[in-house]
Chain A
Amino acid sequence: MARTVIPFGPQHPVFPEALQLKLECEDEKVVNAIPAIGYIHRGIEKAAELNAFRNNVFLCERICGICSFMHALCYCQGIEEMMNVEIPPRAKFLRVFWAELSRMHNHLMWLGFLADSMGFESLFMQCWRAREIILDVTEMTTGQRVIYGSCSIGGVRRDIDKEMAQDIEKRLIMAKEMVDSDISPTVFHDPSLKRRTVGKGILTKEQAISLGAAGPVLRASGVPLDTRQTGYAAFKEIGFEPIVETAGDVYARTLVRLREWYQSTEFCLKSLSMMPEGEIATRVVGRPKGEVISRVEQHRGEVFYYIKGNGTNNLERLRVRTPTFANIPPLLVMLRGCELADVPVITLSIDPCIACTER
């Protein structure tokens, strides 16, 4: 049968960013998919070599608007490891709080996008309504809604007092009740949502491992692997168990993310209650020298920083590998053999973040 190549993107209603997939189709069936990336390359890695290493925190934060805090955290952890700095315990808990807060808002946003990609607009609106509460907490604690700017080398820049912690707790419980009553029942039971997701875009455990999938995509295929298991920041004290589903389809990825949302709420509340008193930052003197690898579990999977310092104020090299880049090869396998109408849903199920990927 004759094959048709259908360009999917770079501008497409389901994509918040520019990614192109060239879909080779036989009738309505996708036979092969070829990705084309590079539409929003900004040269951040090179810019990081020209900036002072302390100012790179703000640059790294701007790699991606959604995982902003995670990038700053990963960079700061790398520099701290290189310079042998031990940050105060309170700062570790505050870092976990903000990291999990950003995971909460990302997962709700993603669920909204997924609902939008299958035309389920009311669920999309409801997800973004709950997300607004979390963004308010972000603005309350850090001063801005998206770019946190609260992580710095040696600790954090802002503290949360008791009064604010109580207010945050109230708001997080309000968000949880909203998700409990309006979002979860639909995701768990709605037949139209299940029809569009169950059995679509299957990635087996073996494929996930051999293709190097990351994050919820990997865990939805039954591999219990999460960088938070390494116990960075305060995860050692808080304790962490990865959430795993075994089906490996789009619905399993949705469930992993929804369950992770609940887990993140727990972590946020736990980190607020377990936080010890004390300093929030240590003074860091000197300049970084040597090489280091830093890893953090982003919302989409593991983000990896390679940092090389040469004892001057500027870094010699900063290399970032983001989870979406790791998830593109598994996506191409998922797309093979699917219907053309399922392509948006399957593509969104990896939670593509192209700004991260191309930097």
Chain B
Amino acid sequence: MPWMLPTVIKNLLSKPATRRYPYVKRPPFPGARGKIQFDMEKCDLCTACARVCPANAIIVDKEAKTIKYDPFACIYCGNCVDACPKDAITMDIYYSPPAPEKSQETMLKE
């Protein structure tokens, strides 16, 4: 008795289980851990995010009043979001797209 046959027939007559990625993308669930975004208005350069970052992806320069964020070193753990006392860091649901070259983002506090 071919036990897999009913499943094979069912699959043959039903819609595909996969999507035509990259033309059709499934949106991430709410609360997905993606790229982090800094709100420099709220930030007071306290360095709490840089201290808890397991990947050293955030570098805070107090004198130059800048934050350097490396999305390619970031492991998207969300530790900095939890640690920020001013709630200046939020997490997007989309992760940063692949790129031909690694780059850093520099944010300046006015």
Instruction: Tell me the bound Cα distance from A54 to B76 in angstroms.
Output: 16
What are the residues of chain B within 8 A of A62 when measuring CB–CB? Answer: 75
Report whether A157 and B1 are in contact in the complex, using a CB–CB cutoff of 8 Å: no
Instruction: Tell me the bound Cα distance from A41 to B81 in angstroms.
Output: 32
Instruction: Tell me the bound Cα distance from A191 to B4 in angstroms.
Output: 11
Report whether B78 and A143 are in contact in the complex, using a CB–CB cutoff of 8 Å: yes
Q: Is B46 an interface residue (CB 8 A)?
A: no
Q: Is B82 an interface residue (CB 8 A)?
A: yes
Q: How large is the interface on A (under 10, 10 to 19, 20 to 34, 35 or more residues)?
A: 20 to 34
Closest to B75 in A: A58
Q: Flag A326-357 by CB within 8 Å of B: 1 or 0 each.
A: 00000000000000000000000000000000
Q: How large is the interface on B (under 10, 10 to 19, 20 to 34, 35 or more residues)?
A: 20 to 34
Report whether B31 and A143 are in contact in the complex, using a CB–CB cutoff of 8 Å: yes
Q: How far is the CB of A167 from chain B (nearest CB, A)?
A: 10
Q: How far is the CB of A313 from chain B (nearest CB, A)?
A: 11
Q: Which residues of B75-101 are within 8 A (CB) of A?
A: 75-79, 82
What are the residues of chain A within 8 A of B59 when measuring CB–CB? Answer: none
Q: Is A196 an interface residue (CB 8 A)?
A: no
Given contacts A143-B31, A144-B32, contact A190 B4 (CB under 8 A): yes
What are the residues of chain A within 8 A of B82 when measuring CB–CB? Answer: 157
What are the residues of chain B within 8 A of A190 when measuring CB–CB? Answer: 2-4
Report whether B76 and A144 are in contact in the complex, using a CB–CB cutoff of 8 Å: yes
Q: Is B33 an interface residue (CB 8 A)?
A: yes
Given contacts A55-B52, A58-B54, contact A189 B4 (CB under 8 A): no
Report whether B7 and A149 are in contact in the complex, using a CB–CB cutoff of 8 Å: no
Instruction: Tell me the bound Cα distance from A153 to B77 in angstroms.
Output: 14
Q: How far is the CB of B57 from chain A (nearest CB, A)?
A: 12
What are the residues of chain A within 8 A of B31 when measuring CB–CB? Answer: 140, 143, 158
Total number of A-B contacts with CB less than 8 angstroms?
55
Q: Is A139 an interface residue (CB 8 A)?
A: yes
What are the residues of chain A within 8 A of B8 when measuring CB–CB? Answer: 122
Q: Flag B34-76 by CB within 8 Å of A: 1 or 0 each.
A: 0000000000000000001010000000000000000000011
Tell me which of A51, A58, A123, A181 contacts B77 (CB under 8 A).
Answer: A58
Report whether B33 and A149 are in contact in the complex, using a CB–CB cutoff of 8 Å: yes
Closest to A137 in B: B29
Q: How far is the CB of B25 from chain A (nearest CB, A)?
A: 14
Closest to B1 in A: A189
Report whether A149 and B3 are in contact in the complex, using a CB–CB cutoff of 8 Å: no
Instruction: Tell me the bound Cα distance from A192 to B7 in angstroms.
Output: 16
Q: Is A237 an interface residue (CB 8 A)?
A: no
What are the residues of chain B within 8 A of A207 when measuring CB–CB? Answer: none
Given contacts A55-B52, A58-B77, contact A144 B7 (CB under 8 A): no
Q: Is A59 an interface residue (CB 8 A)?
A: yes
Q: How far is the CB of A99 from chain B (nearest CB, A)?
A: 19
Q: Flag A44-73 by CB within 8 Å of B: 1 or 0 each.
A: 000000010011001100100000000000
Q: Which residues of A123-162 are within 8 A (CB) of B?
A: 123, 126, 129, 132, 136, 139-140, 142-144, 147, 149, 157-158
Q: Which residues of B6-20 are within 8 A (CB) of A?
A: 7-8, 11, 17
Instruction: Tell me the bound Cα distance from A143 to B52 in angstroms.
Output: 19
Instruction: Tell me the bound Cα distance from A149 to B55 in angstroms.
Output: 14
Instruction: List, sorted by A's number, 18 A–B pairs whose CB atoms are closer than 8 Å.
Output: A58-B75, A120-B4, A122-B11, A123-B4, A126-B7, A129-B17, A139-B29, A140-B31, A144-B32, A149-B76, A181-B7, A182-B7, A185-B3, A186-B4, A186-B7, A189-B3, A190-B2, A190-B3
- List residues of B whose CB falls within 8 A of some A CB: 1-4, 7-8, 11, 17, 28-29, 31-33, 52, 54, 75-79, 82
- List residues of A whose CB falls within 8 A of some B CB: 51, 54-55, 58-59, 62, 120, 122-123, 126, 129, 132, 136, 139-140, 142-144, 147, 149, 157-158, 181-182, 185-186, 189-191
Beyond A122-B4, A186-B3, 16 extra complex contacts between A and B, CB < 8 Å: A51-B54, A58-B54, A58-B77, A122-B7, A122-B11, A136-B29, A140-B31, A144-B32, A147-B75, A149-B77, A149-B78, A158-B31, A181-B7, A186-B7, A190-B2, A190-B4
